[in-house]
């Protein structure tokens, strides 16, 4: 009996194996780095992983190596999140450590920081289930995200918070009103180009700032 594992995109779960391209460990890194349109993926937990492939690791070591290429550090974080007291770092704790140009992220008030978090971590932009919080903001509900846990703010959120803090300081800066619900960019703007007025996270921030934050305890 042949043993091993199989990985494939969730959209391909019902596909016949013969219709999917077999990839090796060496193929996984470039596969995870770019979308089907060859756009760079700065966030590996974004729901824009290209499909049409399958991997067949024969042992746990190779399986772990492949998973770490698709979702860096996710396996270790998954085990850590199952601890009685997961090592979660809140927004305030995380930003209080920042120096240089990122010190400004600690100056966002709770309501604005909450809108930044909801926009940057929106389910259409990131599949990780956020376990950390800021005052007045709930962690992600388990039924809205994947099983991948997020234990602390990421570099992408930090840069987004910095950009929003600068825009909030600049009275002349105008955040455009979205004409339609934003989604992940395709060819018009890079996902991490927060300077672009039509960046989807900037548009989502406008929507989130208009809504009342969910009251919850900090974490």
pLDDT at 117: 97
| Predicted structure pTM score | 0.85
Please give the class, per CATH, of domain 7-71.
alpha beta
pLDDT at 170: 81
pLDDT band at 197 (very low <50, low <70, confident <90, very high): confident
Percent of the chain scoring above 70 in pLDDT: 87
SS3 of 143-211: the string is CCCCCCEECCCCHHHHHHHHHHHHHHHCCCCCCCCCCCCCCCCCCCCCCCCCCCCCCHHHHHHHHHHHC
Closest CA to 205 of 172, 171, 177, 166: 177
CA distance linking residue 199 with residue 20, whole number of Å: 33
Residue 57 host element (H or E): none
pLDDT at 211: 77
Phi, psi angles (nearest 5°) of residue 124: -80, -10
Per-domain boundaries in the chain: 7-71, 81-210
pLDDT at 115: 96
pLDDT digits (tens, 9 = 90+) for 139-192: 999 888 999 999 999 999 999 999 999 998 886 555 556 655 556 555 567 888
Please give the class, per CATH, of domain 81-210.
alpha beta
CA–CA distances in Å: residue 173 to residues 163, 164, 166, 176, 192: 11, 10, 9, 10, 19
> Fold identical between 7-71 and 81-210?
no
pLDDT at 177: 60
Cβ atoms 49, 10 nearer than 8 A: no
CA distance linking residue 139 with residue 154, whole number of Å: 15
pLDDT digits (tens, 9 = 90+) for 82-130: 999 999 999 999 999 999 999 999 999 999 999 999 999 999 999 999 9
């Amino acid at each position: 009996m042949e043993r091993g594992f199989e990985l494939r995109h969730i959209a391909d779960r019902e596909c016949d194996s013969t219709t999917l391209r077999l990839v090796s460990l060496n193929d996984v890194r470039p596969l995870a780095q770019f979308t089907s349109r060859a756009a760079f993926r700065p966030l590996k937990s974004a729901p824009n992983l290209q499909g049409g492939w399958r991997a067949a690791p024969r042992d746990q070591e190779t399986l772990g190596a492949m998973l770490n290429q698709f979702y860096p550090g996710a396996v270790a974080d998954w085990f850590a999140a199952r601890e009685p007291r997961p090592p979660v770092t809140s927004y305030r704790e995380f930003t209080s450590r920042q120096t240089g140009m990122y010190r400004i992220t600690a100056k966002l008030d709770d309501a604005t920081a909450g809108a930044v978090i909801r926009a940057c971590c929106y389910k259409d932009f990131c599949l990780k289930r956020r376990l950390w919080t800021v005052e007045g903001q709930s962690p992600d509900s388990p039924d809205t995200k994947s099983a991948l846990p997020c234990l602390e703010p990421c570099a992408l959120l930090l840069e987004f918070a910095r950009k929003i803090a600068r825009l909030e300081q600049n009275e002349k800066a105008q955040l455009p009103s979205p004409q339609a619900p934003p989604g992940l960019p395709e060819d018009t703007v890079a996902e991490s180009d927060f300077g672009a007025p039509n960046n989807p996270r900037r548009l989502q921030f406008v929507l989130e700032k208009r809504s009342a934050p969910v009251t919850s305890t900090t974490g």
